[in-house]
């Protein structure tokens, strides 16, 4: 057993790296930041490694050669134990929507923490009503009835429960490449090999072909709702889309062959997050939603990553597909890092739960509601949705040029501040780049002071989803860092 006496405060020796300037040898300079972090004065790195092996149940992903120890955050910035500053382009997996420790959110949470933390929804508390009214105002009619829970997985579990209770049907359709969570039910909805296990989670759940216009069998140069299209050719006449028709046909085949005459529903992300910003052909969701409704099913939009203005053009991702879901689930960015999630639906569907009582101890607790309210205020006051549109465009246009310059950049896609760079062995076959090479690139990017994520079935897609408080200078710096890392990779291989 590890000695408690070892848990002393400790300061890691500072290196000669200048906070905020990255490695001087790399010649790239971070945009300035006036915020002064505290020096790191906590557990030693190696000691924490030992505690991890002894007591942590989690296997740590191999993101970098050595796990990064982060101890402070401010807006788009994070600091490690050496006082080294990073531009966070991954937001704790698309969760820091308005900025790390955003002062307005911190102030609201602090006020509430001194007042009331928890009561359960057995009682009335003002912060709950203030919040659900504010959240409902962001959604169109008839999506006005809200359940609050604590995580995206819980929200999707509840959405499934609602769809099955309301329709009296059982079968649920989902898309290949989807990620909907880690609970038994939401693991069943997920269709990415990394997150599938030998467990009976998918009973009554049917995955249909992922309508990925870059990797899939069909796709052309006009298919997606993005400033950047694939480099595939297209011979469709204006107004028609062969790829969309083919993927719709695949969906119809599953409906016709694998499920009963009636279904409980269909769940999808407006843009696939964990799968690396995969976008469907325009019009696909509209046709599929109609088919599901024709079979008495409900359509569920999982906005866990795409919501709260991240896509720039709309507040909710489903709006960019011109569809009206019956249920919307949301988490992550909703609380800017605080555990909060929601399921929004119509009064009629919500009332189906009257037949099956549902209870959630923490859902809608005063702390979460206060934080959620402050996050919505910041989004509106600081125009983060508009910023997402502008900055996302700036970044995607710059990154799109990488496809001409680098053999390994196969695709650049996304919308607003939800961007994916699909790394390939060669552009012809679109074979994913070996994982070790992706890891090298990620390591170089991190060492130059930028954090981003990876995703997709082979973990070869770079995922860029920063807090929406980014600046133009940050975007240009990030593009320069990625350029440098890809140049180094090209020199090595
Ligand atoms: C689209 C989507 N849905 C659901 C979830 C599950 O959310 P949570 O991890 O909060 O349970 C995630 C998490 O990454 C997600 O990306």
**DSSP result, 425-491:** S-TTT-PBPPHHHHHHHHHHHHHTTEE-EEETTTT-EEEE---TT--HHHHHHHHHHHHHHHHHHHH
pLDDT at 239 over 60: yes
Last residue within a domain, chosen from 364, 381, 398: 381
Atom of ligand 1 nearest to the CA of 93: 14
Spacing, Cα 186 to ligand 1 middle (Å): 9
Q: Which residue has the tokens 């910035």?
A: 77
Instruction: Establish whether residue 273 lines the binding site of ligand 1, counting it when its CB lies within 6 angstroms of any ligand atom.
Output: yes
Q: What is the pLDDT of residue 201?
A: 87
Residues across the chain: 493
Instruction: Establish whether residue 331 lines the binding site of ligand 1, counting it when its CB lies within 6 angstroms of any ligand atom.
Output: yes
56: which DSSP letter? -
Residue 358 token pair = 């549902």
What's the pLDDT tens digit per position in 342-354? Answer: 999 999 999 998 7
State the Rg of the chain over Cα.
Answer: 23
Query: Do 162 and 130 have their domain in common?
Result: yes
pLDDT band at 22 (very low <50, low <70, confident <90, very high): very low
What's the pLDDT tens digit per position in 171-197? Answer: 999 999 999 999 999 999 999 988 888
Query: Do 228 and 333 have their domain in common?
Result: yes
Q: Please say whether the beta carbons of 109 and 367 come within 8 A.
A: yes
Query: Do 134 and 283 have their domain in common?
Result: yes
For helices 126-136 and 366-381, angle between their N-to-C axes, nearest 10 degrees: 40
Spacing, Cα 18 to ligand 1 middle (Å): 36
Pocket perturbation via mutation, ligand 1, pick of 93, 277, 305, 340 by most ligand atoms within 8 A of CB: 305
Last residue within a domain, chosen from 320, 348, 381: 381
Query: Do 67 and 179 have their domain in common?
Result: no
Q: What is the pLDDT of residue 324?
A: 98
Atom of ligand 1 nearest to the CA of 181: 6
Residue 203 token pair = 């009973």
Pair type for strands 453-455 and 461-464: antiparallel
Distance from C-alpha of 86 to C-alpha of 132, rounded to nearest angstrom: 35
Going along 81-135, which residue ranges are E strands?
Answer: 85-88
pLDDT at 20 over 70: no
Instruction: Establish whether residue 305 lines the binding site of ligand 1, counting it when its CB lies within 6 angstroms of any ligand atom.
Output: yes
What's the pLDDT tens digit per position in 24-33? Answer: 446 788 999 9
pLDDT above 90 as % of the chain: 88
Last residue within a domain, chosen from 354, 381, 408: 381
Q: Domain with 286 in it: what CATH number?
A: 3.40.640.10
Query: Do 142 and 78 have their domain in common?
Result: no
The number of domains in the chain is 2
Q: What is the pLDDT of residue 26?
A: 63
Instruction: Establish whether residue 302 lines the binding site of ligand 1, counting it when its CB lies within 6 angstroms of any ligand atom.
Output: yes
Looking at residues 447-452, what average pLDDT do you find? 97
Query: Do 154 and 271 have their domain in common?
Result: yes
Query: Do 377 and 388 have their domain in common?
Result: no
Residue 431 falls within a domain, yes or no? yes
Residue 95 falls within a domain, yes or no? no
Residues 6+ apart with CB under 8 A from 43: 7, 10, 51
Q: Domain with 450 in it: what CATH number?
A: 3.90.1150.10
pLDDT at 442 over 50: yes
Query: Do 304 and 196 have their domain in common?
Result: yes
Spacing, Cα 91 to ligand 1 middle (Å): 14
Q: What is the pLDDT of residue 5?
A: 47
What's the pLDDT tens digit per position in 49-91? Answer: 999 999 998 876 778 999 999 999 999 999 999 999 999 999 9
Looking at residues 328-334, what average pLDDT do you find? 98
DSSP three-state, residue 31 = coil
Residue 240 token pair = 């028609």
Q: Report the range of poorest mean pLDDT among 9-13, 231-235, 262-266, 318-322.
A: 9-13
Query: Do 81 and 212 have their domain in common?
Result: no
Which of 392, 481, 443, 398 shows the shortest CA–CA distance to 29?
Answer: 481
State if pTM tops 0.85: yes
Query: Do 251 and 213 have their domain in common?
Result: yes
pLDDT at 379 over 90: yes
Looking at residues 382-396, what average pLDDT do you find? 98
Using alpha carbons only, what angle is made at residue 112 by residues 111 and 115, rounded to the nearest 5 degrees? 100
- Residue range of the domain that includes 374: 105-381
pLDDT at 11 over 50: no
């Amino acid at each position: 057993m590890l000695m408690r006496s070892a848990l002393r405060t400790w300061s890691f020796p500072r290196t000669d790296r200048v906070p905020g300037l990255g490695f001087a040898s790399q010649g790239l300079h971070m945009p300035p930041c006036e915020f002064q972090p505290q020096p790191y004065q906590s557990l030693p790195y190696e000691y924490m490694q030992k505690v991890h092996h002894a007591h942590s149940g989690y296997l740590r992903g191999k993101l970098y050669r050595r796990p990064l120890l982060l101890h402070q955050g401010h807006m788009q910035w994070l600091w490690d134990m050496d006082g080294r500053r990073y531009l966070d382009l991954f937001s704790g997996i698309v969760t820091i929507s308005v900025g790390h420790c955003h002062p307005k959110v911190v102030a609201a949470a602090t006020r509430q923490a001194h007042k009331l933390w928890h009561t359960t929804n057995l009682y009335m508390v003002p912060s709950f009503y203030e919040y659900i009214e504010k959240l409902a105002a962001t959604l169109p009619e008839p999506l006005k009835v809200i359940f609050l829970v604590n995580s995206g997985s819980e929200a999707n579990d509840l959405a499934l429960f609602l769809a099955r209770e309301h329709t009296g049907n059982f079968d649920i359709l989902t898309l290949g490449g989807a990620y909907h969570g880690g609970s038994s039910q939401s693991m069943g909805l997920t269709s990415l090999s990394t997150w599938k296990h030998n467990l009976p989670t998918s009973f009554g759940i049917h995955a249909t072909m992922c309508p990925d216009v870059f990797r899939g069998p069909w796709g052309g140069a006009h298919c997606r709702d993005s400033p950047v299209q694939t480099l595939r050719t297209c011979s469709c006449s204006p107004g028609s889309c062969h790829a969309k028709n083919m993927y719709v046909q695949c969906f119809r085949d599953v409906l016709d062959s694998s499920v009963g005459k009636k279904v409980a529903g269909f769940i999808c992300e407006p843009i696939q997050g964990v799968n690396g910003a995969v976008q469907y052909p325009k019009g696909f969701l509209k046709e599929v939603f109609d088919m599901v409704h024709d079979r008495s099913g409900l359509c569920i939009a999982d906005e866990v990553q795409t919501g709260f203005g991240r896509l720039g053009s709309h507040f909710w991702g489903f709006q960019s597909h011109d569809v009206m879901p019956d249920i919307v689930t949301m988490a992550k960015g909703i609380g800017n890092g605080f555990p909060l999630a929601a399921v929004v639906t119509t009064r009629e569907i919500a009332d189906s739960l009257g037949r099956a009582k549902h209870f959630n101890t923490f859902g809608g607790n005063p702390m979460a509601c206060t934080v959620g309210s402050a996050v919505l205020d910041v989004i509106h006051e600081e125009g983060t949705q508009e910023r997402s549109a502008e900055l996302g465009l700036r970044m995607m246009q710059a990154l799109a040029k990488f496809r001409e310059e680098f053999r390994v950049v196969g695709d650049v896609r996304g919308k607003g501040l939800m961007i994916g760079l699909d790394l390939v062995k060669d552009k012809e076959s679109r074979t994913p780049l070996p994982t070790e090479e992706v890891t090298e690139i990620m390591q170089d990017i991190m060492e130059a002071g930028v954090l981003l994520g990876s995703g997709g079935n082979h973990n070869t897609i770079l995922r860029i989803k920063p807090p929406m408080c980014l600046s133009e200078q940050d975007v240009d710096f990030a593009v320069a860092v990625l350029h440098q890392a890809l140049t180094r990779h090209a020199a090595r291989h």
